[in-house]
Amino acid sequence: MHASRPDAVADAAPPLVRQINDGRWLDQREAEELRSELFFHRAVHAYLTMLPALNVIGMRDGSEGAFGAGYHVLPVWKDRMDSRTWVPTPNADVIYSMGYLDLGETGPLVVNAPANVIGMFTDFFQRTITDVGAIGPDRARGGLYLLLPPGYDGHVPNGYFTFRSSTFNVFLFFRTIMGKGDGGPDPSVGAATAERTRIYPLWEEEKDVLPMQFPNASGVRVNMMYPTDFSYWTILKEFVDFEPVGAIVPELRGVLASIGIVKGEPFAPNAWQREQLERAVRVAPRMTLALAQLGRDDQRNLYYTDRQWEQAWCGGTAEWMQASYLDINARSRFFQYAYSSAPAMVVHSTGAGSKYPYSARDADGAFLEGAKTYRLHLPPNPPADLFWAVTAYNITDGTMPETEQLLPSTNSYYDIPKNDDESVDVWFGPRKPDGVADHAFIQTVPDRNFVVALRLYGTAPAFYDQTWKPDDIVKA
């Protein structure tokens, strides 16, 4: 009986003891390899989770390098934004105004928003502070917005739409509508609206408030993209050091700490750590692109059961919340190729807000190829009370494909020839087909895939009840 007891004890070993090396320490080399692999996975997680911040930091740094910095500097793309501006999924069919506010430097800021703005304020994780315009509290009438920094405990006066940011950095993103010109849009109308914006520190004496500057950003070659090299991590470290601890939830702070990024402490990765950080910057974007390429099992990203058109929010909220979870895959893909999510883009509002169906495939399910020619048929009466627009983008980062055309977009401001039933055809390809009007054609880049976005501003009920649906894109 006693002789069999050691075997019985060994057989009774707990499962993890048996699974891991029979209860012995790992080989030193294996332990080092596993530690390195875990570091890599943590870096990938940190990359994908922090991409919303790095996305807007890239926009800020590129903008301030080209146009200047300060609460009083608001670049306006007065002649529309074209492919010379490298930024994720820009809209060439409205007038953009994008400013970067530092509440840590100025304290509370007042923004006097003009009437008829379509816009938002976000913190630097691109979480919406508030919509501005028809879906915002001013209801398109304009008004005074007061932005409070985190931790502010001073007096808060009445008379403002008051909001508190979780980060000292705040992103101001306004879009203004162009007018109808002779045969096309008139950008000057939207630019004039944008230039009515006024920004000033709440407690600054009026005589000391800096006069607004509205540099024209149109036609300027400017890189406003997030980093694609090791500087991703050094810029992230600067952001963590600048913002309050509470801006990042404890679990994510723990992930960042596991790769050496801790507020107020040196960031000094050794050789093997740097190798894994550089690897993560290369691999994480490819992982995200792979998710988009392979699609979702639940198919909730599809707008229609019989079409290829998709939605960026996958049926959730502007914060990528589903009923019981945060959709982190959808969020990371969005911020790889886009920016600025807000309720006005997601809620089912009628005659206000906007919708953005997009398609990366033709009617047969094949990916759109820049070397081929395609036709998009829009049935009569698109459900857009303000206007509709169609734009082509690069699939990887949402930048505009740069061709001789510069504006890879068209919209309902143009006098695009209509078919007998009032429907419209928009063409894509490396060369304009014979007989197609200039403003019915969007030029693409051969040997590169592209994605098509359809924007509907002032979305009407026919979109929601699907009595109007865009046709699939067909190969000519």
pLDDT at 345: 87
pLDDT confidence band for 183 (50 / 70 / 90)? confident
**What confidence tens digit (pLDDT) does each residue in 140-173 have?**
999 999 999 999 999 999 999 999 999 999 999 9
Residue 267's pLDDT is 98
pLDDT value, residue 5 = 53
155 is written with which tokens?
């007096």
Each residue of 105-142: b (16+ CB within 10 Å) or e?
Answer: ebbbbbbebbebbbbbbbbbbbebbbbbbbbbebebeb
Which pLDDT score is estimated for 9?
A: 58
Q: What is the pLDDT of residue 342?
A: 86
Q: What's the CA gap between 186 and 464, in Å, rounded?
A: 30
φ and ψ of 251, to 5 deg: -65, -40
User: What are 314-322's contacts with CB under 8 Å, separation 24+?
Assistant: 316/346, 317/343, 317/346, 318/128, 318/342, 318/343, 318/345, 318/346, 318/347, 319/127, 319/128
132: pLDDT strictly greater than 90: yes
Provide, rounded to the nearest whole percent, the portion of the chain with pLDDT above 70: 98
Please state, for a pLDDT cut of 90, what percent of the chain lies above it: 93
Q: Answer whether residue 456 shows pLDDT above 80.
A: yes
Residue 6 is predicted with a pLDDT of 57
pLDDT of 3: 53
Report the chain's mean pLDDT, rounded to a whole number: 95
Q: What is the mean pLDDT of residues 227-237?
A: 98
What pLDDT, in 10s, does the model give residues 23-54?
999 999 999 999 999 999 999 999 999 999 99
Q: What is the pLDDT of residue 412?
A: 96
Give the contacts of 342 (CB within 8 A, at least 6 positions apart): 120, 122, 128, 131, 135, 318
Convert the pLDDT of each residue in 198-216 to its tens digit.
Answer: 999 999 999 999 999 999 9
Give pLDDT, residue 82.
96
Q: Band of the pLDDT at 8, cuts 50, 70, 90?
A: low
The position carrying tokens 């206007």 is 387
Task: Give 315-353 pLDDT, tens digit per residue.
Answer: 889 999 999 999 999 999 999 999 999 888 898 888 887
Strands 143-148, 161-164: pairing is parallel
Domains of the chain: 1-66+227-294 (1.10.3360.10), 68-223 (2.60.40.1610), 328-475 (2.60.120.600)
pLDDT digits (tens, 9 = 90+) for 372-394: 999 999 999 999 999 999 999 99
The span from the CA of 272 to the CA of 251, in Å, is: 24
| Per-residue confidence band for 296, with pLDDT thresholds at 50, 70 and 90 | very high
Q: Could you write out the DSSP letters of every residue in 216-249?
A: B-TT--EE-PPP-STHHHHHHHHHHHHS-GGGS-
pLDDT of residue 344: 85
Q: Is the pLDDT of residue 10 over 60?
A: no
pLDDT at 2 over 70: no
H/E stretch holding 198 reads: strand 198-201
Q: What is the pLDDT of residues 400-439, one digit of tens each?
A: 999 999 999 999 999 999 999 999 999 999 999 999 999 9
Q: What pTM value is reported for the model?
A: 0.93
